[in-house]
Structure 1
Amino acid sequence: MLSELVHTRKGSGEPLVLIHGIGHRRQAWDPVLETLAESYDVIAVDLAGFGESPAYPLSASYDMDSACDNLTDNFALWGIERPHVVGNSLGGAIALELGARGLARSVTALSPAGFFGTLNRLQTFALLIALRLSSQLPEGALRALSRRAWGRRLAGASLYTHPERFTADEVFGDALALKRCAGFERTIVKGVNYAFRGRVDVPTTIAWGTRDVILPYSSSAIAQERLPDAHHVALPRCGHVPMIDDPALIARVIENTIARTEETAAA
């Protein structure tokens, strides 16, 4: 199964693929894209059924096997193999799954899904569904809210610690992406019981925002228990989408992970 994925590609060097979270779009990576493109061939992708990428056929499943298979098919289309991968939330879980399958050279997972405690799982899915429902307001109402500072703060309060940094157009664009994404419910259904329990043998960093509301920072303890060989990093004063809150820090975390790959190869 191949669903061609819409993407933004910049820079040159080793390939680096950026994977967004559920309901989001590739523009989530804009704060770090230019910095990373100075050193790497950076590809920010819209997952199938999100952003501008078409949905899977109704017969296909929005599970991790499908996501990994579809991404690797697209890697071949893009002329790359075993790229460095970076993901946030759902994208972080996909990045780890790619690493576990030997399909990535390094993995950086930012607040990845798949490390739920019982209460955290309920909190996470309740908040995600609430966000999805709020996006179903008429487009005129979404546009009006995005033009007001308090509306932008309200829209981003559960995702970022600095929602005030967004312009009205950016907030409206994100709201439309969440409103229109065809893969949301099918992904939620598959994600309810998902847990990452694989082993990743490439250099891996798991970084977690200390002010994450969607996937609370306490989940990082579960990640440390399951992946003790990974490098675990706290992201101070960052929310669920940390590349918005501290793009310089996130760029350094990614670059440090890739540098460990180079050190391993040299050794």
Structure 2
Amino acid sequence: MTTLHHTRQGSGEPVVLIHGIGHHGPAWGEVTDLLAQTNDVVVVDLPGHGRSPAPTKPQSYAVDSVLDQLEGLFADLGLGRPHVVGNSLGGYFALGLAGRGSVATATALSPASFWTALELYGITGPQLLTMKFSTYSPEPVLKLFADREPLRKLSMASLYAHPERLTPERALADSLNLRRSKGFWPFFVRAATRPLKRETPKVPVTIGWGDKDRLLIPKQARRAAEKLPTARIETLSGCGHVPMLDDPQAVVDLVRSTITAVERTPAAVTA
């Protein structure tokens, strides 16, 4: 039985939401409630993130193991082949599940692994490390940055185009979660030292990329289109790296349009 923490709400076709590195389930914000109006929505915490424990042997942080753990969650909950949505590292895992054919569709929001070495070491890595190390500040300092809007915008600008929309409570919770995420370093080291392999999707896939993304810059969307020619690429206008806060309705619309692709191309999900 899987040890991945999850929440579940709504009814209808199942949709699983997977957050990015150093984040947790609450990152999906309003997207969860909006999708739950029409779907059975499962929000999962990745291993060593949020309320999910670090994996124990034979499980690990290795990509194939994480995919196995996610598929185990699907089986435990009786989801069959759900629709899956992932952001950043979660988008990478969503594409991995699509490559295995264990999901009905995949929607990946600024998925990891389409960077060049220069982008990884010169843009993404430094920003991630700055955010991570800043969370080791004393909690009163973190609370000060969360409570004051100019400081909140400064500290969260790498993730959001509109960090001012974060509540102080949510900003503090996100910072504390990043500090406590045992899975951050194992995932970060793997991304920085080992090329992440990509499978050709066996199901309908949509990749959405915020045009204000400062962490995984938008030009990577063009690279994704070249490497995954069967995927639909969409721009999320006015959105940063974590578009669920910047424009939750746009994210929901993207997910629903991907789900309808199954009805338009039924052969694609059985290939």
Question: Is the Cα–Cα contact under 8 Å of residues 51 and 177 in structure 1 kept in the other structure?
Answer: yes
Change (3 A) 1:59 1:150: farther
Q: Could you tell me which residue of structure 2 aligns to residue 143 of structure 1?
A: 143
1:195-206 matches, cutoff 5 A: 195-206=196-207
Compute the RMSD of aligned alpha carbons. Answer: 1.5
Q: Could you tell me which residue of structure 1 aligns to residue 103 of structure 2?
A: 104
**Alignment partner of 1:124 is 2:128:** no
**Alignment partner of 1:234 is 2:266:** no
What is the CA–CA distance in structure 1 between the aligned matches of 2:159 and 2:229, rounded to whole Å?
27
Q: Could you tell me which residue of structure 1 aligns to residue 263 of structure 2?
A: 262
Q: Spell out, residue by residue over 1:173-223, the C-alpha distance to the aligned partner (whole angstroms, 9 max, x if none).
A: 000110101111111111113334310021100110111111000111110
Q: Could you tell me which residue of structure 2 aligns to residue 158 of structure 1?
A: 158
Which consecutive segments of 4 or more residues in structure 1 shift more than 6 A?
none
**Alignment partner of 1:175 is 2:175:** yes
Q: Could you tell me which residue of structure 2 aligns to residue 81 of structure 1?
A: 80
Measure how far apart 1:155 and its partner are.
2.0
Question: Is the Cα–Cα contact under 8 Å of residues 99 and 198 in structure 2 kept in the other structure?
Answer: no
Q: Spell out, residue by residue over 1:137-158, the C-alpha distance to the aligned partner (whole angstroms, 9 max, x if none).
A: 1112111221111121122111
Q: Could you tell me which residue of structure 2 aligns to residue 219 of structure 1?
A: 220
Change (3 A) 1:86 1:241: same
Q: Which runs of 5+ in 1 are unaligned?
A: none
1:26-105 matches, cutoff 5 A: 26-57=25-56, 60-105=59-104
What is the CA–CA distance in structure 1 between the aligned matches of 2:23 and 2:110, rounded to whole Å?
14
Change (3 A) 1:151 1:161: same
Q: Percent identity?
A: 45
Bigger shift: residues 51-60 or 2-11: 51-60
Question: Is the Cα–Cα contact under 8 Å of residues 145 and 151 in structure 2 kept in the other structure?
Answer: yes
Q: Spell out, residue by residue over 1:47-79, the C-alpha distance to the aligned partner (whole angstroms, 9 max, x if none).
A: 110011111137753121011011111111212
Q: Spell out, residue by residue over 1:93-132, the C-alpha distance to the aligned partner (whole angstroms, 9 max, x if none).
A: 0000001011111000000001111221111112111111
What is the CA–CA distance in structure 2 between the aligned matches of 1:21 and 1:236, rounded to whole Å?
20
What is the CA–CA distance in structure 1 between the aligned matches of 2:242 and 2:60, rounded to whole Å?
26
Letter in 2 for 1:135: T
Secondary structure at the aligned position of 1:99 is classed as helix
What is the CA–CA distance in structure 1 between the aligned matches of 2:65 and 2:124, rounded to whole Å?
23
Letter in 1 for 2:258: T
What is the CA–CA distance in structure 2 between the aligned matches of 1:3 and 1:131, rounded to whole Å?
30
Measure how far apart 1:88 and its partner are.
0.2
TM-score, normalized by length of structure 2? 0.94
Letter in 2 for 1:230: A
What is the CA–CA distance in structure 1 between the aligned matches of 2:240 and 2:82, rounded to whole Å?
26
What is the CA–CA distance in structure 1 between the aligned matches of 2:57 and 2:141, rounded to whole Å?
31
Q: Could you tell me which residue of structure 1 aligns to residue 16 of structure 2?
A: 17
What is the CA–CA distance in structure 2 between the aligned matches of 1:202 and 1:33, rounded to whole Å?
23
Question: Is the Cα–Cα contact under 8 Å of residues 3 and 55 in structure 1 kept in the other structure?
Answer: no
What is the CA–CA distance in structure 1 between the aligned matches of 2:26 and 2:195, rounded to whole Å?
26
Q: Which runs of 5+ in 2 are unaligned?
A: none
TM-score, normalized by length of structure 1? 0.96
What is the CA–CA distance in structure 2 between the aligned matches of 1:10 and 1:266, rounded to whole Å?
29
Question: Is the Cα–Cα contact under 8 Å of residues 19 and 46 in structure 2 kept in the other structure?
Answer: yes
